[in-house]
Amino acid sequence: MKVAINAIEYYLPSKTEDGICLNEENPDWRIDDIEAKTGIQTRHISADDETATDMAVLAAQKLLNSKVNPDEIDFLIFVTQSPDYLLPTSACLLQDRLGLKKSCMAFDVNLGCSGFIYGLAMGGALIEAGIAKAGMLICSDTYTKYIDKHDRTCRPLFSDGAAAAHLVSSNQDLLGPFEMGTDGAGYENLIVPLAGARNIDSNERKLFMAGSNVFMFTMDMVPKCVDALLAKSNLKYDDIDLYVFHQASKLVIDNIIRRLDLPEEKVFINYKHIGNTVSATIPIALHDAVKEKRLKNGDTIMLVGFGVGYSWGGCIVNWNAET
């Protein structure tokens, strides 16, 4: 697509949790073993009265304050699985709070770890089709609000955060191809079961993850997704300057590197002091990769998101951004 990711900004809540915090409430946990497996030492926790929409506003305002004219935003795609309300659509709240024009289309996408890739595909398609010239893709979630404090599987992993990306038209083919897929048979392995219309009277909303099942899904599908993307784009592994995977955990990323036999220096990692921010991990990683000079204009990169659903998506990006 003749579409560019022009800029990315992100927001992380100021409150953090580390292994000491986890051990205080769970003295039987072997924190050193958990951190060695996850690679995550610090996670960001949203305030009690702070929602995914609140965080999205703070991330988006960084773009609007420095690089983006709100009158030039033709669409707003909000990727979240923790909306403020069942209805109305959180993207509509964002349109108003950000002061975007009323001719701006705004809608939510209920996807998790693959959500940024799906959002890129949808936003890119709107621009490529001539329906819009520029838009904003925001990913934000507050998974920690759904995690039991004694949940050894989920609590050491998930973090709250938001990222906002500015998508614009380009005179070059910079975005794509894409590879996406779904296996809804695995829906029960990463779920908040007592929520939504099937349990409308329940007030007990807790996240459940069957970690080993999700891991096996990842090890099966991510290599297939990478190989399919390379085939579609007529590229080889060595043609990719940087691989940016969903920052699930050290265990996951290390095994992807091993399965694909990738050079470690070509895989960007930043989960240690951020944690797993669900759909926001990839755009946050892109921002940090630029800041750390691991990513520069002209680089060919591969993005791959995977997880809850099961859902996965990947794409090739020829990087050409302001930041």
Would you name the residues annotated as active-site residues? 113, 246, 276
Residue 275 φ then ψ, to 5°: 85, -170
In whole angstroms, what is the distance from residue 272 CA to residue 259 CA? 22
- Cβ atoms of 106 and 92 closer than 8 Å: yes
| Residue whose tokens read 């794409």 | 315
**What secondary structure letter does DSSP report for 267?**
B
- Quick check: helix, strand or coil at residue 17? strand
In whole angstroms, what is the distance from residue 267 CA to residue 253 CA? 9
Is the peptide bond between 88 and the residue preceding it cis, with omega within 30 degrees of 0? yes
- Alpha-carbon distances, residue 169 vs 2, 71, 210 (angstroms): 6, 16, 41
Element (H, E) at 212: helix 211-233
In whole angstroms, what is the distance from residue 268 CA to residue 285 CA? 7
Tokens representing 250 are 């050290």
Dump strand ranges (E) for 188-273.
190-191, 208-209, 242-245
**What secondary structure letter does DSSP report for 87?**
S
